[in-house]
Amino acid sequence: MFRNLSTIGLPLSGRPSELIELALSFGFDAMDIDILDFQQQADAFGVPHARRLMVSARLKSGTFHLPVQLDADDATYKEQLAALPKRLELAAAAEAKRAVTSVAPASDEHSFKDFFELHRSRLHDIGDLLAQHDIMLGLTIRPEAEAREGKASQFIHTFEGLLGLVMVAHERIGAVADAWAFHVTGEPLDLVAKVPQGKLVEVRLSDAPREGSPAEFTHGQRLMPGDTGVISMAAMLTAAKAAGFDGPVTPWADRATLVGRGREKIVKLAGDRLEAAWKEAGLPIAPRWFTPVQRDQFGRPIDEASFVGAE
């Protein structure tokens, strides 16, 4: 397993070089890729230029969000699917082998049975494209009751339900084990072991308030891992280790819970807490040696030729 920083999981903004330096400074081994931004950079300047910062810093690519909505209308889905081959080719060039996307927890247009078949069919189409680049797709759930409120038909919003879809989906389709989701649904971590070998794509860590019923929590109450200790990071890591997981572990929190904390403090806190959880779970931490990203006086990355390992 390796520690992964996501600027969506911990909503962060800034120049790529600044964010990469923060990741390296506070013990992260990988960062998520914004595949749409990567495509713009690659189209404008070429793939080597788009990759230069990650390559120079020797950071792994964590995951990228698949730019396809599984519950989109047919026209939108077909448009997104048509653009996917090029984006997957770029993801492979960036050595990003893990994609993620969420499953809608409810629908106004479809019954459970029809929605399940729609997902299964679309995941088969997507899986065939993923297979060409050796990429796995991890599905996530939205467990909060607020996400299903007022909808005509409920759909998959538990990890056990997600496993049911994964079991019949394309071989390139797997699951994301999210500590927050397990806490909200009240499901046991033993379910992690039921994910087919090689299909656990990512682990996400969060914390929760001490007061209140987890089943009634909203996404806005999702805390950074270690804020209260209600959700055990070590327990999730231990379950993932027992399942043979060797991929990215990503801290995740709602933006509202991070107000008042500066960007550097957020990343440092997340890194320190992941290190503590690693030790508690008995996982080895390999020391990192890296060359800091070089920038000019205006904060702009210096030409890629000056970076160690740049292509």
What would the pLDDT profile of 16-63 be if each residue is shown by its tens digit?
Answer: 889 999 999 999 999 999 999 999 989 998 888 888 888 888 899 999
Structure tokens given for 60: 């792994």
| pLDDT of res. 305 | 35
Low-confidence residues of the chain, pLDDT below 50?
289-293, 300-311
Place of tokens 């019923």: 213
What are the C-alpha distances in Å from 244 to residues 32, 99, 176, 270? Answer: 22, 19, 14, 24
CA distance 62 to 52: 16
Identify the pLDDT of residue 288.
56
Give the pLDDT confidence score for residue 302 in this predicted structure.
47
Supply the pLDDT for residue 287: 62
CB atoms within 10 A of CB 74: 8
Phi first, then psi: give them for residue 94, nearest 5 degrees.
-90, 5
Q: Where along the chain do its domains lie?
A: 2-306
Rg (CA), the chain: 19
Class of the 2-306 domain? alpha beta
**Contact status, residue 266 vs residue 227, Cβ threshold 8 Å:** no
